[in-house]
Amino acid sequence: MTMNQDVIIAHIIAASKDIFACEKAIVTLKDIYHSAIRQYLLKNGDPRAHCGSLSPEKPEYEGVIEHTKPHYRALMKKKRELYNAHRRHRRATQALLKYQSKKSDE
């Protein structure tokens, strides 16, 4: 199925809007995630003083990881959406370039 230039441009615009929305949402989700970490550490103590940085491999951080898991998953989901929006934008841009090169050859 061949698309005309207007349809391809509409796809580029839609992907651009999705990229902007995802980037904005990611900033908010990161703030929520980091806030949840800080809240948990304030309430339950901060093991970073003797355990180093937060890591899922360290048993000292099981509680904070379990507490923030929904926030982390939401953030990762939005990052995947951003990646997909970038991919859609890239593919639509490539399609537009291909369409324009075909038109110039005719």
pLDDT at residue 48, rounded to an integer: 77
pTM of the model: 0.85
How far is it, in rounded angstroms, from Cα 43 to Cα 61?
14
What residues in the chain have per-residue pLDDT under 70? 1-2
For tokens 């103590």, the residue is 45
Give the range of the structural domain holding residue 33, as residue numbers without chain letter.
5-105
In whole angstroms, give the CA distance from residue 17 to residue 81: 12
CA dihedral angle for residue 92, residue 93, residue 94, residue 96, rounded to 10 degrees: 90
- Residue 2 confidence (pLDDT): 61
Please give the structure tokens belonging to residue 53: 């940085």
Domain total in the chain: 1
The predicted pLDDT at position 18 comes to 98
CA angle 3, 101, 106 (to 5 degrees): 90
